[in-house]
């Protein structure tokens, strides 16, 4: 079978670089970054990339030497990464199962650029939509667009889930220092009614705008929340209140559904089917970000994304930061046996980055079917992505990172400068970030452990518990300051890393069929949860649970 781009897919594990990497992995033994370093500073320099003056990506604590890196890059070439990058930017339908382009990069392109989808340049439409969003955002922020009673909007509730929530939520929180003068922005995603009720509890419906974000406008959780929030607006303002429609905004690729729901066309903002939900924060989906920080900072975010796009598109593979990160990730997971990947922002404002990347990465590459429809049985695809901010994680799961039996490759994200004025806090934070990646790589051998125990006056019998194996891989991304532009670069970096890995594994990073079965079954089970008939074909365990559920609900 051929792929959409016409070439016969090659067997990944049979190709020469893959075989060479297997051999290299079998020869590596206990050798890791620590041994590869020796005492040379030069390795740090050689294995760091500085794609922009104020962003350093240091791969030197990864278990790669020149030879391994060379073969990893040969694998990237063998898997057609350069061509894949070109295909993405050319708007080719690389999302083969849905017959679509994956052209989120077009959302970040300047007016004078062009990006073709099915023979049409989409850039004019992208900028026309951005201009509408911009006018609306400025209208709300300046007080020109007012609530039904003529007062200013003080609060915005963004209702969406998955890509219609995680990106806007993460960015809005990360850019907190840039929030000035606009309404407060809240996010509701879960169909657990607690999410909506606890959010609305503190708000005044006469001062609140509800922004319903859903690419499809049929997602059950979002529509359930949207209907309830709309009812709350109607109750609080009066059904016939003139201007009530200004309290409701819709963002969707399906305007008809939004208008049917009750949004007016002037407050309905579009996106396109060639933008995947988890890649959509750069589109109208980011309207809540813009409402919080204003259009100028939103534009800076896009600019940062664009800069990373340019780097990704035009930089040779050996200097290309997303490509290197992707290939080193493949080395760790496919050849050295790592199953997970930890994202460790030493930056409180990036608290939600791990959750954001869980969708970006796991919904993209958590697949076991190749582009050509065949099953993947001979290798692993996307890792489990997880993480938490430092230093909190140190007091929770770092024990396992340092001394557990599993190797967990990690990304440390560190800002050189803070925005809060508590310099000493920041210095301590950064020292911890550096110390953790240092400890993970350097470890502590038996002799050193014994010396520590003796010095502390403890029984030497516990010395073995104080050994750190070391050689636990990590990448450090050090940036000058978490500006909107820097954040844009970081997000685009991860998007491209994910794309490269997906291409190497030969999966479609842009569909998400794996979320469908559960959705269908939930619809079938809802009547049973509500007391109706239990589906005859439900499995015995589910029927058993439904039995107990009904018993408990009837006595509630």
- Residues found near ligand F6P in the complex (CB under 6 A): 161-164, 214-216, 219, 222, 277-278, 363, 512, 515
Tokens 């490509």 belong to residue: 323
Q: Which two tokens stand for residue 138?
A: 């400025």
CA angle, corner 126, sides to 122 and 128, nearest 5?
A: 115
Distances (CA, A) of 109 to 95, 297, 483: 20, 16, 19
Dihedral-angle region of residue 470 (phi above 0 means left; psi in -120 to 50 means alpha; beta otherwise): left
To ligand F6P, the closest distance from the beta carbon of 108 in angstroms equals 19
Decide whether 55 or 492 has the Cβ nearer to ligand F6P: 492
Which positions are catalytic?
363, 395, 519
Helix (H, G, I), strand (E, B) or coil at 511: coil
N residues, the chain: 556
To ligand F6P, the closest distance from the beta carbon of 515 in angstroms equals 4
Beta bridge partners of 7: none
The CA distance from 161 to 189, in Å, is 5
Tokens 């990106």 belong to residue: 167
Tokens 């400025």 belong to residue: 138
Decide whether 80 or 163 has the Cβ nearer to ligand F6P: 163
The answer to whether the beta carbons of residues 167 and 161 sit under 8 Å apart is: no
The CA distance from 266 to 136, in Å, is 9
The two beta strands, 384-387 and 410-415, are: unpaired
CA angle, corner 286, sides to 282 and 289, nearest 5?
A: 125
The answer to whether the beta carbons of residues 57 and 475 sit under 8 Å apart is: yes
Decide whether 347 or 363 has the Cβ nearer to ligand F6P: 363
Dihedral-angle region of residue 371 (phi above 0 means left; psi in -120 to 50 means alpha; beta otherwise): alpha
DSSP assignment letter at 416: S
To ligand F6P, the closest distance from the beta carbon of 357 in angstroms equals 14
Short-list 157, 146, 168, CA closest to 271: 168
To ligand F6P, the closest distance from the beta carbon of 215 in angstroms equals 4
Q: Going edge to edge, which strands form the sheet with 184-188?
A: 184-188, 155-159, 208-213, 248-252, 268-270
Q: Which two tokens stand for residue 442?
A: 């350097």
The CA distance from 313 to 492, in Å, is 12
To ligand F6P, the closest distance from the beta carbon of 385 in angstroms equals 15
Decide whether 163 or 470 has the Cβ nearer to ligand F6P: 163
Instruction: Classify the C-alpha dihedral 68-495-501-474 as positive or negative.
Output: positive
Backbone angles phi, psi at 512, to 5 degrees: -155, 55
Residue 362 burial (10 A CB sphere; 0-12, 13-18, 19+): buried
Maximum CA extent, the chain: 79
Q: Which two tokens stand for residue 321?
A: 């930061």
Q: Is the peptide bond before 391 cis (omega within 30 degrees of 0)?
A: yes
The answer to whether the beta carbons of residues 351 and 389 sit under 8 Å apart is: yes
To ligand F6P, the closest distance from the beta carbon of 278 in angstroms equals 5
H or E element at residue 252? strand 248-252
């Amino acid at each position: 079978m051929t792929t959409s781009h016409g070439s016969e897919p090659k067997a990944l594990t049979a190709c020469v670089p893959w075989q060479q990497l297997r051999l290299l992995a079998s020869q590596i033994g206990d050798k890791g970054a620590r041994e590869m370093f020796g005492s040379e500073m030069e390795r740090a320099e050689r294995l760091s990339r500085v794609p922009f003056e104020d962003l350093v990506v240091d791969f030197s604590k990864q278990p790669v030497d020149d030879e391994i890196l060379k073969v990893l890059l040969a694998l990237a070439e063998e898997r057609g990464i350069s061509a894949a990058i070109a295909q993405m930017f050319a708007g080719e339908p690389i999302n083969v199962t849905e017959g679509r382009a994956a052209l989120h990069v077009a959302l970040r392109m300047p007016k004078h650029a062009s990006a073709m989808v099915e023979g049409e340049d989409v850039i004019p439409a992208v900028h026309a939509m951005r201009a509408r969003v911009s006018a609306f955002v400025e209208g709300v922020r300046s007080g020109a667009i007012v609530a039904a009673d003529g007062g200013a909007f003080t609060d915005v509730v963004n209702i969406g889930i998955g890509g219609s929530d995680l990106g806007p939520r993460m960015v809005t929180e990360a850019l907190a220092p840039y929030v000035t003068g606009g309404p407060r922005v809240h996010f509701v995603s879960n169909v657990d009614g607690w999410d909506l009720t606890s959010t609305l509890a503190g708000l005044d419906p006469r001062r609140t705008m509800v922004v319903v974000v859903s690419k499809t406008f049929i997602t059950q959780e979002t529509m359930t929340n949207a209907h309830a929030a709309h009812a709350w607006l109607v109750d609080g303002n009066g059904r016939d209140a003139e201007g009530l429609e200004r309290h409701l905004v819709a963002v969707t690729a399906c305007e008809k559904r939004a208008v049917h729901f009750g949004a007016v066309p002037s407050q309905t903002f579009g996106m396109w089917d060639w933008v995947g939900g988890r890649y959509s924060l750069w589109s109208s989906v980011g309207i809540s970000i813009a409402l919080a920080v204003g259009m100028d900072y939103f534009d800076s975010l896009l600019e940062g994304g664009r800069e990373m796009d340019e780097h990704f598109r035009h930089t040779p593979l050996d200097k290309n930061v997303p490509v290197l990160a992707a290939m080193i990730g493949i080395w760790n997971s496919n050849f050295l046996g790592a199953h997970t990947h930890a994202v460790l922002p030493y930056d409180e404002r990036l608290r939600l980055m791990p959750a954001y990347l869980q969708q970006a990465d796991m919904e993209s590459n958590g697949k076991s079917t190749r582009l050509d429809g065949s099953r993947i049985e001979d290798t692993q695809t996307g890792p489990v992505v997880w993480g938490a901010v430092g230093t909190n994680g140190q007091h929770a799961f770092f024990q396992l990172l340092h001394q557990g039996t599993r190797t967990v490759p990690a990304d440390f994200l560190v800002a050189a400068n803070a925005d809060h004025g508590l310099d000493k806090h920041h210095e301590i934070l950064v020292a911890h970030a550096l110390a953790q990646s240092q400890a993970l790589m350097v470890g502590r051998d038996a002799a050193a452990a014994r010396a520590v125990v003796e010095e502390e006056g403890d029984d030497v019998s516990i010395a073995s518990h104080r050994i750190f194996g070391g050689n636990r891989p990590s990448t450090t991304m050090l940036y000058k300051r978490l500006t909107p532009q820097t954040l844009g670069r970081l997000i685009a970096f991860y998007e491209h890393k994910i794309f490269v890995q997906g291409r190497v594994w030969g999966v479609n990073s842009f569909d998400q069929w794996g979320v469908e079965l559960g959705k269908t079954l939930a619809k079938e089970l809802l009547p049973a949860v509500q007391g109706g008939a239990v589906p005859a074909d439900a499995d015995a365990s589910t029927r058993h649970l439904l039995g107990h559920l009904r018993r408990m609900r009837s006595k509630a």
